Amino acid sequence: AGNALDGEWVDASRVLSGDGAAGGDFTFTFNVAVGDIDRDGAAAITDVAPLRAADGTTTGAAGYSIFADLDANGVVDAADADVLRQQLGRALPGGAPNAPAGTAGATTITLTGADRVVVTPDGAATTGTIDIMLQTGDGAPIDLLEYSVRVELVGPEVGAGVSLIGGGVASAAPAATAPDPLNAPGNVDDLPAGYYLSTANTSGAAIRVDDGDGLIRVDYEISPGAIGTYQLDLLVERVNDTVLLDDAGRALAFSIIAPTLTVSIPGDLNGDFVVGANDLAIVLANFTQSVPVGDFSRGDVTGPGGVPDGIVGADDLVLILGAFTNQVIPPGGSASATGADDALALASDAPTAPPGATSSLDRWQGWNRPVFRDAERTDTVTRLFSPRSDDHLPDGG
């Protein structure tokens, strides 16, 4: 055709190779999805069944699959399962195919997690966890053959303020444990914004999942001074995203309620970025009660030595009163107007901050703290919630 022999395709717009100029060595990139036994472009939980079907076979034997022989030694065995485990969650650069369409099971299924409110660290970074759990509409258990979960962190400062750092077996009521069937520690290619963990159920035994069981645990890290609300989205579009397979290998339909992580200031228990009447009410409603350690929604914000102790008591009350009316404006948002009004109404006599007043927390965007003595503020609010005495009655009362 009159074309000189060189190291480039003629149609460089259709086939990516070389640098688009004639001459030089022929260069071509072959992308391989290692572990893609069913040849759909991704290593996912749908590849476990064909691996299991070929397990124990050798070259030339019935049932042997060269695609399941991932280490290419002529035998499909545990070594091939190890290769698949290392690759689960990965796909060709062009992207994985769509997730299989889910069908409705005997009950409705919801994947969710508990929303958390935490205090931004004032020194070294802190870490925490959120479980992704499965809930059934009728409270009955279900049987799964495989499941996978892909989490994406969405928020104002992903990777700088808050980062995903990995995950593993659920902290409470785990549906599966590692290393089999849960393939912990999972795929960390997308950290700090994304995380993937799945099962690799080589035994083929059904995984009994009770209502409320945790599928996986997601670990996060909070940098000092971080403020804002973050959401743990569960991705579902691709076969190597979030997928549930029932005990017959069929994809199940489910809904999602994405959990949130709110990073706020000390004393903010409900995540509205204001320390006010709502937070005080939480402590008073649970006063003297034993609650899960560090559960802000129940009022356990501190304890002896400044560490939550699972008891809502004087330490928690003092912290709230000492921080009363403090607020902060999160990136891209504002403190709750209702919470701020409630808080400021109880301290309307507080003097305003003089020009140029600063605090040790000025690095928090929008930090606003009335500058009167903590003792006076605590005493003012305490009187509002204490039994009346003659000292507090107006003349003639």
Q: Which of 217, 23, 8, 235 is nearest to 114 (CA)?
A: 217
Which residue pairs from 70-75 have beta carbons closer than 8 angstroms and sit at least 24 positions apart in sequence? 70/34, 70/35, 70/37
Please name the CATH architecture into which domain 109-263 falls: Sandwich (2.60)
Please answer whether residues 218 and 231 qualify as being in contact, where contact means their C-beta atoms are separated by less than 8 angstroms. Answer: no
Q: Please report where in the chains the tokens 């759909």 appear, as a residue.
A: 40
Global pTM reads: 0.80
Q: What residue spans define the domains of the chain?
A: 109-263, 265-391
> Could you read off the pLDDT tens digit of each residue along the chain, which spans 397 residues?
555 545 555 555 555 555 555 555 566 667 889 999 999 999 999 999 999 999 999 999 999 999 999 999 999 999 999 999 999 999 998 767 788 877 877 789 999 999 999 999 998 999 999 999 999 999 999 999 999 999 999 999 999 999 999 999 999 999 999 999 999 999 999 999 999 999 999 999 999 999 999 999 999 999 999 999 999 999 999 999 999 999 999 999 999 999 999 999 999 999 999 999 999 999 999 999 999 999 999 999 999 999 999 999 999 999 999 999 999 999 976 555 343 344 333 333 333 334 443 333 333 433 444 433 344 444 544 444 444 444 444 444 4
Buried b or exposed e, range 149-188, using 16+ CB within 10 angstroms: bbbbbebbbbeebbbbebbbbbeeebbbebeebbbbebbb
**Distance (Å, whole) CA 67 – CA 37:** 5
Q: Which of 382, 350, 374, 371 is nearest to 280 (CA)?
A: 382
Q: Estimate to the nearest angstrom the gap between the alpha carbon of 287 and the chain centroid.
A: 30
Query: In this structure, is the dihedral angle defined by the CA atoms of residues 386, 391, 395 and 397, taken in order, positive or negative?
Result: positive
Cis status, amide bond into 304, omega within 30 of 0: no
Cis status, amide bond into 141, omega within 30 of 0: no
Q: Please report where in the chains the tokens 């009004």 appear, as a residue.
A: 341
CA–CA distances in Å: residue 71 to residues 9, 34, 35, 45, 183: 32, 10, 10, 19, 19
24: left (phi over 0), alpha (psi -120 to 50) or beta: left
CA–CA distances in Å: residue 79 to residues 72, 130, 202, 249: 10, 32, 12, 23
